[in-house]
Structure 1
Amino acid sequence: MAVIQPFCAVRPTKDKVGLVASRSYESYSKKEREARLRYNPYCFMHIINPGYKYHREVSGENRFKLVRNRYLEFREDHIFIQDDSPSFYIYKQKTRKHTFCGILGAASVEDYKNNRIKKHEATLQAREELFMEYLKTVGFNTEPVLLTYPDSTLIDKIINDVTLTIPEYEFTTTDRITHYLWKLSDPEKIKLVQSEFGKIGDIYIADGHHRSASSCLLAENLKKDNPGHSGTEAYNFFMSYFIPESNLKIYEFNRMVKDLNGLSKEDFLIRLDEWYRIENRGMELYRPSKKHHFTMYLDGEFYSLYLRKTRYEFTDSLSTLDTQLLFRTILEPILGIEDLRNDNRIAYGCGKDNVVEMKSLIDKGKYTVGFGMLPVTMEEIKKIADEGLQMPPKSTFIEPKLRSGITIYEF
């Protein structure tokens, strides 16, 4: 059974929420960050980039302490207020093509530890520990883990009923996404949601493996420091966005490599022929239509690659994954890419126009060859997680991407 808890969110006042809400820090260009910090005093980036106030970069423990100070200033200035009673929050994003809607609540660390919350990506211990120290110092989290659950008619009905009422927030950001937030504070409806999740077997991390792992470390750390630990403390849970599986949008990441590992174009194609049937598509912007088919862009031309299945052995769910297949047949044995996380010869692109962007970067000479594929499916993600396996890095780009600063979870 999955545990989901309501919480008392710290939130921006209605008149400032559109100014406070921000994308992840890394998603802004340097010029965009500078503009938002200079002209918007309410932007949440002032909290996570506290050194801006002093015109200097601040890192490590000093940064963590300053983040805490900036956050307290936002609370003291009543930019942020805290709800009086525990609630779930229905959060909807409406883009030009998609509408995403789910429940903001608190997931259980115990569910994470007991593998009722299932993972499909590896995490780096150093990064887990760093973020745990950050959370421990600042005392809050504003980036929900994206969790997905099997579609539920009852939960859908509760969400639909709530979203027929006037929202707490309705605002549109500069990327033309409209955001809505409703409070679900009725005790009976809260119990219904919890009861329904209690009937659900496993839920899956779609995005946020390091955040959830760090929250687990934090709970273990604070538990040791608390002789009166009861298991109900806020640190035993982490803020999550629960969204039905059918409502996720999954995009692929393509791969771009800077060189051919010392091979000529002709030698590279001959090596590639061992694994794939190759067709030159010329300038045709080719996109694969089936699993185990790939796009390749090289020297101003597109190629279609069709796996020779008699050459490759499928042994488990991971071996059938296109990102793993590409690694095992091309990136590692031919191009010499052994470490997908740290090798600076490889880069990744994502999104619906990533093949066009890949072509542009290769034409400009920043990379030599690029590969595109179909997106991973939700069923593939679940099979990988169920078998206790781990996807290669940058296997999925999943929407929705949530804004920071709309709901904050204190512990």
Structure 2
Amino acid sequence: MVRISPIKPFLPKNPKEFCTNPYDIIDQQEELELKKNPNSLIHLILPDGTGDEVYENAKKALVQLKENNAIIQEKIQSIFVYRQESPNFSQQGFIMGSSLEDYDNGKGILKHEYTRAKPLADRTKHITITHMAAGLVWNVYKSNEKINSVMEDIKKQDPLYDFQKYGYRQILWKESDPEIIQKLKNLFKNEKLYIADGHHRCASANEYRKLKIKEGKKPTGKEPWEYLLNYVSSDDQIKVMAYNRVIRKLPITEEDFMKRLNEIYCIIPVTEGFNPKEKHEVALCCKGKWYKLEVKSKKFANIRDSLDVAILQDKLFSPVLGIEDPRTHKNIFFVGGLDDPKEMEKYVTEKGNDLFFNLYAVNIRDLESIADLGGVMPPKSTWFEPKVLSGLVIYHLGE
């Protein structure tokens, strides 16, 4: 169902100094600190400047990184295994190319979210001018013992990289044996990939591919721009966390809000914040007071509608709070990667917001089922952690 390919990427000379978090989770303070290092990926993914100057500066940064030998291109095609390890959690997957045609036709690489025009245009322009992909699209496959076994065999080699960063041991292995690569190609022919993280990066790579075809380039299955740079892991190797919702200001009175909320949920006052233990249970901090919410009606038209994020959006945020498009509405924002209710409470008691909704994490099987049916989940439904490093491999898409 999906065609994979080895890649011949640029690799960093000093990965610990070079690699960063994905561009969209780097805050201003971290960005300023990273930019003190002339050989950091930050200059490529978040260059200085305004307007189109940003993309030209990214191109210049790429030239400088090459001249400094901060990144060096591999001479042979390979597939990589990438593992992140800590005492509490570890995950691993392949880094390789996957056919963008299989994304475009919706048969091999399946999405579960819509993209937004502005970030898509930004990433597309970045790729078009630099001809490089430095951020990994995170895809998952349904756990497959044979594929997982190949991964374990590759890990028996000495690693290419082994270093600590962001609280995790970061390990990379390289496999260049044509027989093993062909074995993986054959195994993945029967699989589908599900986008976990990186819908905009995936869509922008496909826009670049379509641009090349429009220019008269013929897809042969061997062109770098026909493939997506991705990290591909088994669905039993990942940790899905809740992507919580914060409402800045209630547009109605607290009394009216609680009445409308009671139409959807059983409302149980609690003495302190907590993390929900199952689907259809929500922890709400409303103006400093905590409530346990339990969904009243559990009759749903489909899996998508049964998601806690969908219930909130369809039955509360849109009709009651007037938040029709949570991707652009200014009265809502999202908090991922936070599991301490005391820290959640501070968003209300110290940061001036009215509501914090602490959700139960979406099950990865629900994500896969929705994608299989061609469905789309509400924006910001899932948060994955740890984030995979950007810059561990840099993929040249061709001029």
Does TM, scored on the shorter chain, surpass 0.5? yes
**2:280–2:308: 8 Å Cα contact kept in structure 1?**
yes
| Unmatched runs of 5 consecutive residues or more in structure 1 | 52-57
**1:117–1:205: 8 Å Cα contact kept in structure 2?**
yes
CA distance in 2, matches of 1:266, 1:319: 27
Partner residue in 2 for 1:18: 16
Say whether 1:277 aligns with 2:266: yes
Q: 1:306-342: per-residue Cα shift (whole Å, max 9, x none)?
A: 1111xx7511121111101011222222222222111
**2:283–2:293: 8 Å Cα contact kept in structure 1?**
yes
**2:123–2:204: 8 Å Cα contact kept in structure 1?**
yes
Paired residue secondary structure (1:401) = coil
Offset of residue 149 of structure 1: 0.6
Q: Which amino acid aligns with 1:29?
A: D
Matches within 5 A, 1:41-80: 41-51=38-48, 58-80=49-71
Matches within 5 A, 1:9-408: 9-13=9-13, 16-38=14-36, 40-51=37-48, 58-115=49-106, 116-173=108-165, 175-200=166-191, 202-227=192-217, 229-263=219-253, 265-282=254-271, 284-309=272-297, 313-353=299-339, 355-408=341-394
Quick check: 68-77 or 105-114, which moved more?
Answer: 68-77
**2:160–2:174: 8 Å Cα contact kept in structure 1?**
yes
Q: Which amino acid aligns with 1:247?
A: Q
Q: Which amino acid aligns with 1:72?
A: V
CA RMSD of aligned residues (A): 1.7
CA distance in 1, matches of 2:341, 2:22: 24
How many residues of Structure 1 are paired with residues of Structure 2 in the alignment? 396
Q: Which amino acid aligns with 2:39?
A: Y
Q: 1:148-181: per-residue Cα shift (whole Å, max 9, x none)?
A: 11212222222112212211101111x2211011
Q: 1:283-309: per-residue Cα shift (whole Å, max 9, x none)?
A: x22332222121111232211111111
| Unmatched runs of 5 consecutive residues or more in structure 2 | none
Q: Which amino acid aligns with 2:10?
A: V
Q: Which amino acid aligns with 1:368?
A: D
CA distance in 2, matches of 1:268, 1:61: 45
Q: Which amino acid aligns with 1:278?
A: I
**2:336–2:383: 8 Å Cα contact kept in structure 1?**
yes
Q: Which amino acid aligns with 1:386?
A: D
Partner residue in 2 for 1:54: none
**1:256–1:358: 8 Å Cα contact kept in structure 2?**
no
C-alpha change, 1:289 and 1:31, in structure 2 (3 Å) is: closer
Paired residue secondary structure (2:138) = strand
**1:96–1:176: 8 Å Cα contact kept in structure 2?**
no
CA distance in 1, matches of 2:176, 2:29: 40
Q: Which amino acid aligns with 1:121?
A: E
**2:337–2:385: 8 Å Cα contact kept in structure 1?**
no
**TM-score with structure 2 setting the length:** 0.95
Offset of residue 227 of structure 1: 4.7
Percent sequence identity is 29
Partner residue in 2 for 1:55: none
Offset of residue 3 of structure 1: 0.6
Offset of residue 400 of structure 1: 3.9
CA distance in 2, matches of 1:393, 1:259: 20
Offset of residue 229 of structure 1: 4.7
Offset of residue 365 of structure 1: 4.6
